[in-house]
Structure 1
C-alpha cells in the first residue's frame, strides 16, 4: 500500500484523490486515511530536524530522571516493584525514542500523552520531592510542547490522535 501511495504522489495526485482511488481496495477506510495522511514524500526542514533532536534528548533525560527517582525512592521501600518500574520505564523509553526517531505520527501522539501522565505524577508527589518534581515537570512540559510542535509541522492534516474529519464526516487529507 505504501508503494502505491508513493507512486500516486509522484504522479501529482492530491491526498484526497489518492484516498478516493484506493478506498475500494482497502477494507478499513480509517487505516487507509491514516496511511495517506501520514505519508511524507519530502524531507522535513532543518529546523524541524533540530527540534526533533532536542526532543530525542529530552526523552532520554526524562527517562534517566524517572529511573533515578524510582531507583532512589521506590527500590529501597519495595525492591521488586521498583525494579519492575525501572524495566517498564526502560522499555517504554525505547519505544518512544524509536517512534520519535522515525518521525511517526503515533510516536509523537503517544509521547505527548506520556508527558501529560508524567506531569500529573510529578505534581502529585510535589510535597514529597519538590525539587525533583519541578525538574520533572519542566522536562515533561518541554518534551510535550516540542513533540506537539513537531507533530503539527509534519502532520498538519492530523488531529490530536487521528485523521481530521470535516462537518460532513469526510476525511481531511490536505
Structure 2
C-alpha cells in the first residue's frame, strides 16, 4: 500500500472514532518502520483540535493572505524595474505564500514546519542593513519572530504528538502515540 493511500485509510479510521493508539497498533504489524508509522499517525488531522483552534488558524490564514498580497505587489514592482513582462514576476513571487496559504487552510503538518524553517533561515537577512535605519530592521525582525512563534504554537496545538521534525518520544524512548 502506498503512503498516501495508507494515510487516507488511517484518517478515515480516525474520523470514525478509532483512537490513535489503536491505529498505530493495527498498522504496526505491517512492514512499516516504527518512526514512519508514528509520523503518519501523529500527523492525522484531529477535527476536535482543528475546531478548538479555528480562530487562531483563521488569523494565520488572514496573515498569509496579507503576505501573499504584499509579495504579489513587490513582485509586480520588481517586474516593472526589470521587464515589461511583469505578470511573470508577480506570479513567481506570490506563488510561495500561496502554497503556504493552501497548506494552512488544509491543516497540513509539513506546511507548518516548512514555513517555520523557511522564515528561520531568512532571519539573518533581517540584519543586512544594520548600520542604516534600524527601526525598519527591528520591525521586520519582530514581525518575523512573532510569525514563527505563532505558527509554531499553532502547530504544537494541532499536532500535539509531533516534535520539531518528527514524532515526540518520552523518556523511555517510546512514541507518545503509544500513550494516547
SS in 1 for 2:176: coil
Cα distance change of structure 1 residues 74 and 52 upon mapping to structure 2, 3 Å threshold? same
Root-mean-square deviation (Å) = 3.2
Alignment partners' CA distance in 2, 1:135 and 1:70: 21
How far did 1:11 drift?
5.6
How far did 1:20 drift?
2.2
Alignment partners' CA distance in 1, 2:13 and 2:29: 17
Structure 2 partner of 1:27: 32
Structure 2 partner of 1:51: 56
Alignment partners' CA distance in 1, 2:61 and 2:36: 27
Which structure 2 residues correspond to residues 130-149 of structure 1 after superposition, within 5 A? 130-149=134-153
Stretch moving more, 97-106 or 126-135: 126-135
Structure 2 partner of 1:18: 23
Structure 1 position 7 matched with structure 2 position 26: no
Structure 2-normalised TM-score? 0.72
How far did 1:153 drift?
0.9
How far did 1:18 drift?
1.9
Structure 1 partner of 2:102: 98
- The 8 Å contact of residues 116 and 148 in structure 2, kept in 1 or not, is answered as yes
Structure 1-normalised TM-score? 0.74
- The 8 Å contact of residues 50 and 158 in structure 2, kept in 1 or not, is answered as no
Cα distance change of structure 1 residues 67 and 116 upon mapping to structure 2, 3 Å threshold? farther
How far did 1:105 drift?
1.1
SS in 1 for 2:107: coil
SS in 2 for 1:43: helix
How far did 1:49 drift?
1.1
Structure 1 position 38 matched with structure 2 position 43: yes
Provide structure 1 residue ranges, at least 5 long, that are not aligned to the other structure: none
Provide structure 2 residue ranges, at least 5 long, that are not aligned to the other structure: 1-5
- The 8 Å contact of residues 75 and 94 in structure 2, kept in 1 or not, is answered as no
Alignment partners' CA distance in 2, 1:86 and 1:120: 25
Cα distance change of structure 1 residues 141 and 68 upon mapping to structure 2, 3 Å threshold? farther
SS in 2 for 1:162: coil
